[in-house]
């Protein structure tokens, strides 16, 4: 904290109007495995001070990796020199003003983190996958321990410790038969890697010998893992910065109907045991829960202090200093079990994972993505057989209007394809476009 104080004091004395400094110290252990063997253990040990300064409405950011006064002096000098040549940031309106009372977030910091052994977890998971019928498996396990401190020129000073565990496993029974599952938690006691290993192996076995399927419109059940990348894009679209820069399919005005009545989306930076949870955002504003869509009606965008002032509203605690970012983006649950959902479908598809989602137009939400891992044809309420070679080609803005069923259980998902944290149930969407190569 002493070095943060020094940087803020020096920059203020040299003419900065606003300064945000934060120190992140993190120690990460990682184990990678493939072909049912551990192929690499890794560790990362990093300390970084991030610095943001606004001087006469000119905004600049940098970081400091050598945590010494001498290195800080050089960086401060460079900030002052560089900022002189910058044009004004016409969009900049300021940073949060403290003090704040921060929320108590449950299950953010696990005291048992130093005892957790990544090798034991992975070796157990490999055995479980094999014992449940997988020919081989691959994946990754991370254990992260970090400490953050923040100090700003606007009376904000705080710190928090965080821990996180992320486990991902893909079981395979042939080049065309595989299943993928993940588990993530901030506390080891709630990391359910065993269920993930079992689920991935079971999907893999069930997807053996897939058949070619037809093109057309199908009612599609997306598992939480499969819908998560689309929900990540939805969360990003909720940032007012995305709206301004052409990356959002949301309309520009709130209170518009954008989804079916059963769809409620929240961004919850205080979600218990949430991967994206914390006490404060990047400018030290308290994290909170924000209702983005309520029963299909767009209610709010995600803001930091600058965008909130511009749009005459309050910050939602989602700084990103330049761009507001989602924390834990939550699709609220419905009342269906997975079995009931399948039973309700006459002509449909169950998709358990997707891969390579790309947009043709972010404004309209036109996209396509490819089902990966177990994909199953549903006829008259029953799973008929695994299928292959499909592509989902649809419009996200329209798809949300066709959501007709939501599972009753929520699962927290982060994955290789879903880069920021989401929480969601199984999702049933009517008349989804399915195409195939010719």
Partner 1 sequence: MQDLAEFTIKYLQKKGASYAEAKYQEIESNSFIIKNGSLDISSFDIIKGIGVRFILNKKLGFLSTNILEKDALIKQLENSLKMALKTKISEKVEFSEEKANRANYEVKQKIKLSNVSTDEKISILMAAEKEMRSVDTKIESTYIHLSDNETLNYYVNSDGSKIQSKIPTASFIYVISVRENGRTSQRYSEYGGGGGFEVVKNFKIPSLLKSEVEAMKNNLRYGKKPPQGVVDAVLGPQVSGIIAHESGGHPYEADRIFGREAAQAGGSFVNKDMIGYKIGNEAVTIVDDPTVENGYGFYLYDDEGVKARRKYIIKNGAITEFLHNRQTAKLMGLKSNGSARSNAFDKEPIVRMSNTFFLPGGYTEEELIEDVKLGVYIKNFMEWNIDDKRINQKYVGSECYLIENGKIKNPIIAPKIETTTFKLYPSIDACGKNLEYHAGDCGKSDPLQGIPVILGGPSIRVRRVKVS
Range 136-165, binding partner 1 (CB under 8 A): 136, 138-140
Sole window of 104-112, 146-154, 281-289, 349-357 interacting with partner 1 (rule: CB under 8 A): 349-357
Residue 94 engages partner 1 in binding (rule: CB under 8 A) = no
List 15, 155, 364, 384, residue binding partner 1 (CB under 8 A):
364
Question: Which 375-394 positions form the footprint of partner 1 (CB under 8 A)?
Answer: 389, 391
Among 232, 233, 213, 258, smallest CA distance to 350 is for: 213
Number of residues in contact with partner 1 under rule CB under 8 A: 86
Q: Which is nearer to partner 1, 126 or 308 (CB)?
A: 126
Token pair 């990754």 is found at: 140
Residue 98 engages partner 1 in binding (rule: CB under 8 A) = no
The helix (run of H) or strand (run of E) holding residue 127 is: helix 118-131
Token pair 């072909």 is found at: 35
List 145, 162, 170, 411, residue binding partner 1 (CB under 8 A):
170
DSSP state string for 285-309? PBP-EEEEEETTEE---B--HHHHH
- Least distance from C-beta 261 to partner 1, angstroms? 27
Question: Which 15-74 positions form the footprint of partner 1 (CB under 8 A)?
Answer: 29-48, 58-63, 65-66
Residue 233 engages partner 1 in binding (rule: CB under 8 A) = no
Token pair 């990362």 is found at: 44
226 alpha-carbon distance from chain centroid: 13
List 366, 410, 430, 431, residue binding partner 1 (CB under 8 A):
366
List 114, 356, 379, 409, residue binding partner 1 (CB under 8 A):
356
Token pair 């600049």 is found at: 60
The helix (run of H) or strand (run of E) holding residue 256 is: none
Q: Which is nearer to partner 1, 354 or 377 (CB)?
A: 354
- Least distance from C-beta 145 to partner 1, angstroms? 13
Among 348, 385, 38, smallest CA distance to 177 is for: 385
- Least distance from C-beta 313 to partner 1, angstroms? 20
List 247, 309, 310, 431, residue binding partner 1 (CB under 8 A):
247
| C-alpha to C-alpha distance for 345 and 225, rounded to whole angstroms | 20
Q: Which distant-in-sequence residues (6+ apart) come within 8 Å of 36 by Cβ?
A: 126, 129, 130, 134, 136, 137
Six-digit token string for 387: 């299928």
Sole window of 3-11, 80-88, 256-264, 295-303 interacting with partner 1 (rule: CB under 8 A): 80-88
- Least distance from C-beta 58 to partner 1, angstroms? 8
List 15, 68, 91, 384, residue binding partner 1 (CB under 8 A):
91
Question: Which 276-335 positions form the footprint of partner 1 (CB under 8 A)?
Answer: 322
Burial class for 297, CB neighbours closer than 10 Å (0-12, 13-18, 19+): middle
Instruction: Produce one character per residue of 190-224: b if its CB has 16 or more CB atoms within 10 Å, e if not.
Output: ebbbeebbbbbbbbbbbbeebeebeeeebbbbbbb
Residue 174 engages partner 1 in binding (rule: CB under 8 A) = no
Q: Which is nearer to partner 1, 62 or 109 (CB)?
A: 62
Question: Which 102-141 positions form the footprint of partner 1 (CB under 8 A)?
Answer: 117-119, 122-123, 126-127, 136, 138-140
Q: Which is nearer to partner 1, 62 or 288 (CB)?
A: 62
Among 278, 319, 302, smallest CA distance to 94 is for: 319
What DSSP designation does 198 have? H
58: region left, alpha or beta (phi > 0 left; psi from -120 to 50 alpha): beta
β-bridge pairing 211-212 and 382-388: parallel
Six-digit token string for 404: 């007709």
- Least distance from C-beta 143 to partner 1, angstroms? 11
Q: Which is nearer to partner 1, 61 or 337 (CB)?
A: 61
Helix ranges, 290-395 (H): 305-310, 338-343
User: Max Cα separation, the chain?
Assistant: 72
Question: Which 418-437 positions form the footprint of partner 1 (CB under 8 A)?
Answer: 419, 435-437
Sole window of 12-20, 157-165, 297-305, 365-373 interacting with partner 1 (rule: CB under 8 A): 365-373
Q: Which is nearer to partner 1, 65 or 99 (CB)?
A: 65
| C-alpha to C-alpha distance for 216 and 233, rounded to whole angstroms | 24
List 299, 355, 398, 430, residue binding partner 1 (CB under 8 A):
355
Residue 195 engages partner 1 in binding (rule: CB under 8 A) = no
Q: Which is nearer to partner 1, 91 or 409 (CB)?
A: 91
- Least distance from C-beta 241 to partner 1, angstroms? 8
Six-digit token string for 90: 């016409």
């Amino acid at each position: 904290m002493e070095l943060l104080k020094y940087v803020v004091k020096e920059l203020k004395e040299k003419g900065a109007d606003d300064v945000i400094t934060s120190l992140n110290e993190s120690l990460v252990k990682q184990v990678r495995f493939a072909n049912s063997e551990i192929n690499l253990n890794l560790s990362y040990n990093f300390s970084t001070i991030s610095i943001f300064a606004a001087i006469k409405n000119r905004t600049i950011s940098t970081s400091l990796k050598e945590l010494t006064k001498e290195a800080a002096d050089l960086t401060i000098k460079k900030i002052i020199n560089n900022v002189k040549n910058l044009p004004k940031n016409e969009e900049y309106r300021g940073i949060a003003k403290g003090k704040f009372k921060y929320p108590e977030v449950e299950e953010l910091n696990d005291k048992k983190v130093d005892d957790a052994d990544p090798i034991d977890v992975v070796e157990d998971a490999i055995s479980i996958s094999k014992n449940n019928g997988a020919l081989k498996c691959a994946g990754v396990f991370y254990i992260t321990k970090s400490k953050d401190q923040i100090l700003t020129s606007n009376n904000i000073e705080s710190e928090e410790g965080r821990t996180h565990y992320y486990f991902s496993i893909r079981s395979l029974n042939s080049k065309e038969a595989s299943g993928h599952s993940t588990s993530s938690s901030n506390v080891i006691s709630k990391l359910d890697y065993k269920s993930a290993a079992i689920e991935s192996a079971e999907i893999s076995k069930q997807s053996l010998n897939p058949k070619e399927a037809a093109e057309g419109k199908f009612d599609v059940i997306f598992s939480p893992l499969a819908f998560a990348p689309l929900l990540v894009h939805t969360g990003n679209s909720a940032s007012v910065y995305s709206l301004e820069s052409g990356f959002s399919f949301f309309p520009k005005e709130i209170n518009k109907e954008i989804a079916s009545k059963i769809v409620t989306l929240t961004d919850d930076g205080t979600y218990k045991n949430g991967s994206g949870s914390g006490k404060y955002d990047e400018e030290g504003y308290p994290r909170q829960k924000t209702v983005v869509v309520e029963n299909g009606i767009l209610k709010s965008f995600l803001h930091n202090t600058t965008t909130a002032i511009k749009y005459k509203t309050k910050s939602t605690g989602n700084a990103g200093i330049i761009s507001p970012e989602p924390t834990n983006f939550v699709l609220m649950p419905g009342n269906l079990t997975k079995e009931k959902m399948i039973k309700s479908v006459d002509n449909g598809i169950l998709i358990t994972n997707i891969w390579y989602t790309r947009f043709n137009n972010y404004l309209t939400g036109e996209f396509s993505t490819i089902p990966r891992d177990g994909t199953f044809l549903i006829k008259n309420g029953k799973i008929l057989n695994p299928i292959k070679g499909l592509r989902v080609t649809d419009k996200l803005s329209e798809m949300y209007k066709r959501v007709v069923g939501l599972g009753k259980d929520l699962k927290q998902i982060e994955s290789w394809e879903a880069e920021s944290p989401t929480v969601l149930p199984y999702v049933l969407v009517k008349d989804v476009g399915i195409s195939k190569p010719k």
